[in-house]
Amino acid sequence: MTQRQTVSFLMRRFQEAGIRPDTRHGQNFLIDLNLVELLVDTAELDETDVVLEVGTGTGSLTQLLARRAGAVVSVELSAELHQLAREELVHVRNVTLLQGDALHNKNRLDAGLLEVVAAHVAGPPPRRLKLVANLPYNIATPIISNLLSTAVRPQLMAVTIQKELADRIAARPATKDYSALSVWVQCQCRTEIVRVLPPTVFWPRPKVHSAILKIVPEPDRRARIPDPEQFHVFVRTLFLHRRKFLRSGLVHAYKQHLAKSTIDDLLTALDLPAQVRAEELDVDRLLQLYGALRAALEQAARPDPT
């Protein structure tokens, strides 16, 4: 099966189905078979794994995943591609094919999809979830970001995404790509850009470079965060105006809850200059700041004993 995801194979299958690739929905197919193998190798799969694939396409990657994992749950937005994949995977028994949108909205994954994934992970025997996918560019950010907030979090993600997004996720402080997304992923995970992919390895060719990105969640990192979802909100708030000085951003964001003097005392206690910017702080410093701010907000919310 995987040997057939060539340009000629894809063109023939699309012609037979009377459809064309819809690049608006990220239908750019990886046709370099060595890179398909690299993507799967990056996921380090075995029979204890349940793979979530977002974007089934024609089922080429799906079948390769099924050979190595215990189970694969693959979701495809296009009804036409879903049907093509069903025809190609009719004899593969450990694959569940779903047709629909993986996202409920930009802030949540589809509840039905998560139920299917959770049922597979629950076993028996208990299994590990991994995301392995050639992610459509237009949904890559919410898929990665929201999957870190689900009850069944992945043990590993191996994805092909736009290089610009991979650079943002793996970016270091004080660089142009460092963002709220960088902090949200790195506060919980190790990240690695495995390979940069030129447009020529896809059909149709996108206008930008892509990358294979490996993301490995680490429970000890997440355990440092008292309230991950509120920390996520805090980071997005700070980076909303990334060029603002940190003090100005905090004063503006929390003016209804904290006095300017409290913000000043908080920054002094953490040895953070008022002129520092959020984009200059690494994850550890942002976690320290969040912890101190959280304590100050809790203190301010307590009734005055007098």
The string of pLDDT tens digits covering residues 137-148 is 999 999 999 999
| Mean pLDDT within 34-49 | 97
Q: What is the pLDDT of residues 178-237, one digit of tens each?
A: 999 999 999 999 999 999 999 999 999 999 999 999 999 999 999 999 899 999 999 999
Q: Exposed, middle or buried: residue 18 (CB in 10 Å: 0-12, 13-18, 19+)?
A: exposed
Assign 294 a pLDDT band (cuts: 50, 70, 90).
very high
C-alpha distances in Å from residue 163, one per residue of 132, 168, 197, 246: 17, 9, 8, 29
Return the ∠ at Cα 129 (arms to 123 and 130), rounded to 5°: 150
Which domains are present in the chain? 2-223 (3.40.50.150), 228-301 (1.10.8.100)
pTM of the model: 0.93
Q: Contact at 8 Å (CB) between 129 and 153?
A: yes
Rounded Cα–Cα distance for residues 75 and 166 (Å): 22
Assign 244 a pLDDT band (cuts: 50, 70, 90).
confident
Q: Which residues neighbour 185 within 8 Å (Cβ) at sequence distance 6 or greater?
A: 144, 145, 148, 169, 191, 215
The least confident of 5-19, 206-220, 228-242, 283-297 is: 5-19
Asked if the model's pLDDT at residue 53 lies above 60, the reply is yes
| Mean pLDDT within 164-170 | 98
Residue carrying structure tokens 């593969």: 92
> What pLDDT is stored for residue 2 in this prediction?
44
| Mean pLDDT within 162-180 | 97
Q: How many Cα atoms within 13 Å fall on the side-chain side of residue 161? A: 26
Which has the closest alpha carbon to 165: 193, 186, 188, 146?
193
Assign 124 a pLDDT band (cuts: 50, 70, 90).
confident
> What pLDDT is stored for residue 306 in this prediction?
61
